[in-house]
Amino acid sequence: MPSLPSRIIAIAERRLGSIDAYYGPVQPLIDGYRDGQFFAQRIRTLSQTKGDEITVILQMLHQIKNTVTVVHGARGCAAMQNYLESYDGHGSPVFSTNLTEDNSIMGAEEVLRKTILAAVERHKPEAVFVVTTPIVAINNDDVQTVAADLGEELNIPVVPIYADGFKSKTSANGYDIAYHSIAGFLTAEKRATDKKLVNIISSDGSEEDVHKIAELVTSIGLNPNIFPRFGLLSAIRNSSNAVATIGLKPDSRVIGEFLEKERQVPYYLLEQPVGPEATSRWLGEITGKTGNKSEALEFIKSREKKKFDELVADPDTNLSGRKIYISGDIYTAIALAGLVKEFGGSVTGLSIANIDKNSVALLDENYKKNGWPFNIHIGDGQVFEQANILSRDTPDVYLGAAGQAVHAARLGIPSVNYAPMPLYGYDASIKLIRAIVRACSNRSFVEKLGSYTSVYNRSSWFGKNPNWYIKQEVG
Amino acid sequence: MKNMESLRTQCALQGALSAANAIGGVIPVVHSTAGCAYQNYLAGGLANGGQGAGLAGGLAVPSTNIVEKHVVFGGSARLREQLKNAVKVFEGKLFLVLSGCTPNLVGDDSKAMVEEIETQGYPAAYVQASGFHGSAYTGYELAVRSLVDFASKKTASPLTTVKGLINIFGIVPGQDTFWQGELLSLSREFSAAGLILNPLFGFNQTVENWKNIPHASLNLSLSTWGSGIVEYLKEKFGTPALKRSFVPVGAEDTKQLLLDIAGKLNFDEKQINNHAEKKEQEADYFISQFAEAYFNFNFQTDFSIAGPLSQAVGISRFLAYNLGFTPKTIIITDAPQLKDEPIGDILPHIDTKVNVFFTEDGNEISGLLKKGNPGLILGSTIDRITAEEKGAAHLSISLPVSDRIVLNRGYAGYSGALNLIEDIGTVLLKRRTQK
Amino acid sequence: MAKKATHIAIYGKGGIGKSTTTSNISAALAVMGYRVIQVGCDPKSDSTSTLRNGDFLPTVLDTVREQSQLKIEDISKVGFAGVLCVEAGGPLPGVGCAGRGINSAITLLTEMKVFEEFKADIVLYDVLGDVVCGGFAVPIRNGLTNRIYVVSSQDFMAIYAANNLFKCVAKYANSGGALLGGVIGNNLYGSHAEELITDFTQKTNSAIIDFVPKSLVISQAELHGKTAVEAYPDSKEAQKYRDIAKKIISDETVTTPNPMDGLALRDWARGWGDKILKERTNAVFTI
Ligand SMILES: Nc1ncnc2c1ncn2[C@@H]1O[C@H](COP(=O)(O)OP(=O)(O)OP(=O)(O)O)[C@@H](O)[C@H]1O
Ligand SMILES: [Mg+2]
């Protein structure tokens, strides 16, 4: 039985004061979270599509080895599995209960049961994840009971993940929901602390980056225990015995804090090791936090730095004079801002997916350090707002993840999608820097795109403040 | 057992959205939870030959992104507000509201919101396309009906019939990977034969083209998914309908289709025959060139194919009747409801026993493709793994297609067949060099 | 560790007297010294009105729309004898999804740890009408409540609703769902009422808690915006509610009901109808 106090976890808005809509100066945002207060909720009266809890959860579960995922809902709630199978490497099978109108009215517990049984029969997984979606959140299928019964019958964990798909405005809440269930169903009691074992939480990102992290951790004499993505269930079970948990992004917080509170494994959320300086700091932090006095560390630092300096001598990696706009989750965006600075460029604007009472500290710290002169945008996707902002800021390059870069490019701005690029470690990010330089030096493609028709009513929309459709929430 | 693993097609909402994205000037406004349109973009925009989803697609799709409070208290007001603002920010000739599972379960009156914005002078229409209504193909049908209803209200009167004007349905944007290429290629063939095709989707197609629907002298459906639509149009405007279950690939089937049309329209067959003759000469010329490679590298093979019916059958017929390839297994991924209909006469005169299956369950498909050790597998990119296991050559032709970029390439018509020969020849050659 | 409160859900056909009964039980328990929370699970949001003189009380769901940081005071009022009154709230008729509303309101109360912080001994849920969709079954499922009680009169439609509820309880019985405490007869009149309800409970493996007759005292109290327990503490009605309250808090006996199927229920009802009709007819003749 799960050792969790409650079946579900409060949404990010109520738990963390998470905000996903804002455009304006940084200071009021920081002030809004002072003394345990939450910044007042904002809503959009015009919005564009974006990922949600389900999409975040599916990309995460897809790379947990020897498992299957059953999406309990209409087939569209699992549609992205085609994308995952195509571009994210061959991962764990995704099933859909493929609910029909009839199921939505009459309930579909039996369909769920049958699908789980078939999935287990076909793949003999070590665990099954069941992800709930809007239909079952509304018709209130008793997923908990089906999961518990089958867990017993099949003698493997059947882990319900109550995504629902409309709980929070913040898609990252999906990580919290998933980790809440993973903590309850898949971790084990602590046996004994292994002084060399470090948990590395991999919620998203490329396999290459995860391997890089493993390599870095190994280089200072520790054993990485990587999960959930690219990891085995045994890594999750073993996590209670680690000496520390390292999070790469705040999405690791729920599992990190669970291990800290329930299994006495301290949790550290460190800045991302992107570029030489951050990577050295990162390694230093880990050796410190794990009590591991690695002589190797200084050697690695100086060796890698030297290698790196040689790379940078190359004119293809010089960003001086380049103004760069960065979009992404706050941890990545700030890590990239540091990187851009390291290579001589400057940041002209930031758009981050969401912010909350925890991550605001990072914003505060960086704002104090850099005194950004620009307004900050908070929005997941919402490329119409970004287009408006970019029409004012006119950066030399736009750095964004996945589907966002193309929309900046459609405005004629050289753009780079960093999502598929390796970022972690001393020199991986050099690829990104080169891509930025390349984007600036040959603009023919984006210029063509920029002259093509636009979907926006530019004269009317670009004349308005980008925050025109962001309102403080009232009843 | 119901299809359940690695489903290839998306849901009705997503199919309707893909259709909307394929028409210039249409701004889709999705009324649903945030991830619905986003998953459509990932699966249909990126994992479908990397076609993207157009200017108002991908992350640009306006979506109400409803959350818990809209579920509990209703989301109509949220849609009203979204529409009121969308018409100001987006440049659109039609705002097409697509409402998904959640608003429909809680009973939002999306239609009333659309009527409201219409009375304010904005062009708007509404499709109720919940994911639970069915697959993306159903969504296509639903969207087309709404679009027809909307556009025909604006059709210039009198409703005169334009001789030779043909509306085409059943080639489904976002689901059929080669939809754009097929439409372009068929348009060319039709116009060379003296007919005018109204493709309705893709390049250069806007709401204006939809307004011409009632003027057509024939409505043509090239798959199951167009037959309901052409029937609907027959009822609505009295336009005759012609239904075929597959997209013609190559000379024979293309010519036959054109002749069938001519028959239906009392059209002079001479022009069609002249055009066909020229095209056949051209095809013969290239096929004879292809013969060198064919025999040098022993291309003759048996094959298995998985894809939507219209495509799988069209391609199979060409390979069987023109290239001398032997079909082993045909897996129909889009039309489970046809299970009981005989399709034995789709591939007549082939001296072999073809196994035909109806499933879109990825696991079942790979199991079926493995059987019989075909030398060539045509299916999704995911079936590449099966092909590699079996040492078969592999070409991606149906969702998800993620190892090739498909923009205006198609296999329909005369020129499409040459594309198909090139693509198949290439993968057969590659397998040879890889061995 | 804080002691765990007993959670009780009260169901029954619309208008049968659930809110009246629940509020009177709450009032009686509070007077006995228990810490009581009453949660109205009905979009009408009128469950607790007789406990707080009809004062305005913002509902849980209304408040959620506005604030992200919630305090218990924002969504509750202390009413008669210290009963903490909460109304889940919900949409206007014809829009939205009231079932999901119940679900999310209860989730929120759990998240906010309202029951722990108030140190409740007992929590009573007054749940809207028939179980129309899964949302209204939430209080039965997942071990949220300890026991279910059903309010019913002798009317066939009320019995029908009770039988439906039994189906729901039986469905979740094997998976940690709450079981049935029993039936509270209410609004009873005529000579056969008690006998009829008793027969129904015997046929369905359920227990009778008590019978409350149709009473002017109760409706008069309501017109004053009060429970009978508060307005007429010396009345026999108040005493009845105190008895019921005592039974509910102390008697943990539950059964898994065995509902009748549609035809059996109809035949059963016909049988009773015939019997009553016959006796009445006989009565007429004997005059
Ligand atoms: N035993 C009784 N004697 C007289 N009147 C009663 C009795 N029980 C309930 N009533 C009256 O019946 C009416 C309906 O009662 P109440 O509001 O408690 O029902 P309910 O089941 O909560 O209804 P709803 O389903 O609408 O919430 C009220 O006016 C109430 O005063
Ligand atoms: Mg009531």
Domains of chain A: 12-18+53-165+168-186 (3.40.50.1980), 194-292 (3.40.50.1980), 314-472 (3.40.50.1980)
* C94 contact residues in B (CB cutoff 8 A): 107
Q: Using the atom order of ligand 1, give the atom closest to the CA of residue C212.
A: 1
Q: Which residues of chain A have pLDDT under 70?
A: 1-7, 474-475
How high is the mean pLDDT of chain C? 89
C130 is catalytic: yes
Chain B partners (3+ C-beta pairs within 8 A): A, C
Half-sphere exposure of C40 (CA within 13 A, CB side): 30
pLDDT reading at C286 higher than 90: no
Report the pLDDT averaged over residues C85-98.
87
Identify the active-site residue in C18, C42, C126, C226: C18
CATH class name, domain B12-153: alpha beta
Q: Is A221 buried (19+), middle (13-18) or exposed (0-12) by CB count in 10 A?
A: middle
C171 is catalytic: no
Identify the active-site residue in C13, C42, C121, C226: C13
Residue A5: predicted pLDDT: 42
* C-alpha distance from C138 to closest chain A C-alpha (Å): 8
Residue B350: predicted pLDDT: 61
C154: CB partners within 8 A, 6+ apart: C185, C188, C189, C190, C192, C193, C196, C197
Cα C146 to chain centroid distance, Å, stands at 14
Token digits for B44?
């249909």
Under an 8 A CB cutoff, do A49 and B46 touch?
no
C44 is catalytic: yes
**Residue C206 CB–ligand 1 contact under 6 Å:** no
DSSP3 helix / strand / coil % (chain A, rounded to 5):
45, 15, 35
Q: Is B120 buried (19+), middle (13-18) or exposed (0-12) by CB count in 10 A?
A: exposed
ipTM of the complex: 0.95
Q: Which residue in chain A is spatially nearest to B24 when comparing CA positions? A: A455
Whole-structure pTM value? 0.92
**Residue C15 CB–ligand 1 contact under 6 Å:** yes
More confident residue, C92 or C159: C159
C-alpha–C-alpha distance, residues B71 and B24, integer Å: 32
How sure is the predictor about C135, in pLDDT bands with cuts at 50, 70 and 90?
A: confident
**Residue C20 CB–ligand 1 contact under 6 Å:** yes
C133 — contact with chain A (CB < 8 Å)? Answer: yes
Q: Which of A411-415, B369-373, C204-208, C236-240 has the lowest mean pLDDT?
A: B369-373
* A141 contact residues in C (CB cutoff 8 A): 134
* B72 contact residues in C (CB cutoff 8 A): 61, 90-91, 96-98, 100-101, 104
C192 — contact with chain A (CB < 8 Å)? Answer: no
Strands B355-358 vs C208-213: parallel, antiparallel or unpaired: unpaired
Chain A partners (3+ C-beta pairs within 8 A): B, C
CATH code at B273-434: 3.40.50.1980
Strands B393-396 vs B218-221: parallel, antiparallel or unpaired: unpaired
Residue identifier of the C-alpha nearest atom 25 of ligand 1: C14
Measuring CA to CA, which residue among B404, B399, B398, B400 is closest to residue B427? Answer: B404
> Fold match between B12-153 and B165-247?
yes
Q: Which residues of chain B have pLDDT under 70?
A: 1-2, 336-352, 434-435
In eight-state DSSP terms, residue C4 is P
Cα A54 to chain centroid distance, Å, stands at 13
Report the pLDDT averaged over residues C142-157.
90
A104, A167, A410 ranked by CB distance to B105: nearest:
A104
Query: Are the C-beta atoms of residues A395 and A381 closer than 8 Å to each other?
Result: no
Measuring CA to CA, which residue among B235, B231, B169, B245 is closest to residue B200? Answer: B169
A4 — contact with chain C (CB < 8 Å)? Answer: no
C275 is catalytic: no
**Residue C220 CB–ligand 1 contact under 6 Å:** no
- Whether the upstream peptide bond of residue B400 has omega within 30° of 0, thus cis, is yes
Beta bridge partners, B241, equal B219
What's the CA-to-centroid distance between C129 and ligand 2, angstroms?
Answer: 8
- Superfamily (CATH) of domain B165-247: Nitrogenase molybdenum iron protein domain (3.40.50.1980)
How sure is the predictor about C1, in pLDDT bands with cuts at 50, 70 and 90?
A: very low
Percent of chain C having pLDDT more than 70?
94
How sure is the predictor about C4, in pLDDT bands with cuts at 50, 70 and 90?
A: confident
Under an 8 A CB cutoff, do A140 and C99 touch?
yes
C-alpha–C-alpha distance, residues B54 and B69, integer Å: 32
Residue A4: predicted pLDDT: 40
Name all domains of chain C by residue range, CATH numbers in brackets: 6-286 (3.40.50.300)
Q: Which residue from C19, C124, C230 has its CB within 8 A of the most atoms of ligand 1, so it is best to mutate?
A: C19
Give the ligand with the smallest distance to the CA of C221: 1
Measuring CA to CA, which residue among B152, B125, B159 is closest to residue B19? Answer: B125
Identify the active-site residue in C121, C130, C226, C240: C130
pLDDT reading at C2 higher than 90: no
Domain ranges of chain B: 12-153, 165-247, 273-434
Residue B389: predicted pLDDT: 93
What's the CA-to-centroid distance between C124 and ligand 2, angstroms?
Answer: 13
C97 — contact with chain B (CB < 8 Å)? Answer: yes
